[in-house]
Amino acid sequence: MNTMTPIQVLLVEDDEDVRQSTAQALQLAGFDVESFASVEATRARIQRGAPVVVVCDVKLPGASGTDWLPQIRAVDAELPVILVTGHGHIAMAVQAMREGAYDFIEKPFTRERLAAIVRHAVERRQLALQVRELRDALEDWHGIQALLIGRSAEMQQVRRTVMSLADTSADVLIYGETGTGKELVARCLHEHSERRRKNFVPINCGGLPETLAESELFGHEAGAFTSANRLRVGKFEHADGGTLFLDEIESMPMGVQIKLLRALQERCIERIGSNRAIPVDCRIVAASKGDLKELSDQHKFRADLYYRIGVAFIELPPLRERREDIPLLFEHFTLLAASRYARAAPTLSSAQIADLMGYDWPGNVRELRNVADRFVLGLPGERLTRLRGADAGPALPRGLPQQVESFERAVVVEMLRRHQGDQSATAQALAIPRQTLHDKLRKMGIAADEFR
């Protein structure tokens, strides 16, 4: 199934017999070809971002192929130009390649060689246009879209929920696997609320020793215990007027849960060594990898604490359930890494895109970002996601039908977006009948009108 933009070959050749035979050879190889007798007749087709590649003879009446090359590059430097040359003009063609031509082919040439060169140029153009489209989309996004990136229905729902809850006082519980971006969502809740002028205070409950938890959360007075040399303001007090983010709350020791529950109920704390109650006005956002209701039923988490913080819920989907977001996210992380490491942002090959889309991403968005970093640093090799050894299987047990359905949905959504909801154009790009596409959209619950 082809998910790339269809590319047309612009053939420029003044000899009518050669033009017709070359066009026929390319059409038999599966290319969409439009033929021209001169550069002047073709100029209007050269635009920035045009889904075309150029196959042009060097010697032409009027402007030559080598004269035209710098003009094409001035319009779009990434548009591949393949020069066709006679034996006596090879040196000229080599010089043109140094000046930016994609390749050259010497007359007489075989159909197979011509098709191979054009096929590589078409693939390069497809990838360049895809990367450009992703970068343009990232530049157009702002606000919460620029933070919680994704076009999938799941991420659109997450953004809507965040915006509806942000300016309320409701405590929020965020569910999600490791690496899905729970802290990022918590920061978005804070930054889009009236509390954004005060502190966002994160604390990892899993790394909170029970012996130090009370001091860490509530602070202590100087001299409260042997090592208390000076007054310490705890996390609750530091978050006054802002947001306290309790990450991995499911791993908080039971003894600490009791003290936390009291502070949440009374919204005031006492520093160790003091009898003075200090009121605190902070919003609580908690995050968990596990189902706290289920853990409370198993007596592994306090039920009263669960019901205290379980007011509003946000569930973050794992990356494998929103595969249509992978190319956009990967491009975003690639650009960030290129800026951070002062490297050029490389372009993915079609095989690498397939590798990204087919992988299960057990580490979710965090793992994807690490792969993008390695990609920019030139470390991964041909297979981007070969992270756990050549024989490693998928991280999570998912059946083949579920994986195929998830991948197919991502492809259909991406092509609908590219063609702005036009079902005829989408069906043509996917090489399936329109009725088949219509049936798939109905089965998947996708409304094409949403992409217009």
The amino acid that residue 295 corresponds to is L
Where among 266, 296, 317 does a domain terminate?
A: 317
Q: What is the pLDDT of residue 228?
A: 76
Distance CA 84, CA 42 (A): 16
Measured distance CA(84)–CA(14) in Å, rounded: 12
How many Å separate Cα 18 from the centre of its chain?
45
Is 270 found in the same domain as 151?
yes
| Predicted local confidence at residue 137, as pLDDT | 65
Does 395 lie in the same domain as 330?
yes
Question: What does the buried/exposed string (b/e) look like for 41-58 if buried means 16 or more CB atoms within 10 Å of the residue's CB?
Answer: ebeeebeeebbbbbbbbb
Between CA 433 and CA 80 the distance in angstroms is 31
In a domain, 2, yes or no: no
For 397, phi and psi rounded to 5 degrees? -75, 100
CATH of the domain at 37: 3.40.50.2300
Which amino acid is residue 153, in one-letter code?
Answer: A
Domain end residue (candidates: 140, 158, 179):
140
| Alpha carbon distance 133, 117 (integer Å) | 25
Instruction: Give the integer Cα–Cα distance in Å for 206 and 227.
Output: 23
CATH number of 237's domain? 3.40.50.300
How far apart, in whole angstroms, are the C-alpha atoms of residue 190 and residue 211? 30
Boundaries of domain holding 222:
144-317
Task: Please indicate, yes or no, whether residues 330 and 444 belong to a single structural domain of this protein.
Answer: yes
308 and 337 inside one domain: no
Q: Rounded to an integer, what distance in angstroms lies between the CA atom of residue 37 and that of residue 43?
A: 12
C-alpha of 215 from chain center = 40
Judge whether 3 lies within some domain. Answer: no
30 and 80 both lie in a single domain: yes
Q: What is the full DSSP assignment across 36-67?
A: ESSHHHHGGG--TT-SEEEEEESS-SSS-HHH
pLDDT averaged over consecutive 10-residue blocks of the chain (452 residues)? 72 92 93 94 92 92 89 92 78 77 87 91 85 69 75 90 92 95 94 93 84 84 79 91 95 88 89 89 94 93 93 94 89 88 80 82 93 86 50 40 64 75 82 83 78 68
**Residue 75: φ, ψ to 5°:** -80, -45
C-alpha 258/C-alpha 291 separation (Å) is 19
Residue 403 has what pLDDT? 54
265 inside domain: yes
The total of other beta-carbon atoms located within 10 Å of residue 281's CB is 13
Q: How many domains are there within the chain?
A: 3
Q: Give dist(CA 338, CA 334) in Å, integer.
A: 6
**436 phi and psi angles, rounded to 5 deg:** -65, -45
Question: Which H, E and C letters describe 201-253, residue by residue?
Answer: EEEEHHHCCHHHHHHHHHEECCCCCCCCCCCEECHHHHCCCCEEEEECHHHCC
Among 282, 317, 352, the domain boundary falls at 317
Residue 260 token pair: 């936390």
Residues 192 and 304 in one domain: yes
413 and 346 in one domain? Answer: yes
Helix (H), strand (E), coil (C) string for 353-403: HHHHHHCCCCCHHHHHHHHHHHHHHCCCCCCCCCCCCCCCCCCCCCCHHHH
Give the N- to C-terminal CA distance of the chain in Å, as an integer.
23
In this prediction, residue 396 carries a pLDDT of: 37
Whether the CA torsion 2, 6, 11, 12 is positive or negative: it is negative
The answer on 439 and 349 residing in a single domain is yes
**If DSSP codes are grouped into helix, strand and coil, which group holds residue 260?**
helix
Q: Are residues 23 and 58 located together in one domain of the fold?
A: yes
pLDDT score for 226: 74
Cβ-proximal residues to 223 (8 Å cutoff; 6+ apart), any chain = 273
Nearest C-alpha neighbor of 251 from the set 298, 287, 199, 303: 287
Domain shared by 413 and 313, yes or no: no
**Counting beta carbons within 10 angstroms of the beta carbon of residue 435, is it exposed (0 to 12), middle (13 to 18) or buried (19 or more)?**
exposed
Half-sphere exposure of 16 (CA within 13 A, CB side): 0
In a domain, 1, yes or no: no
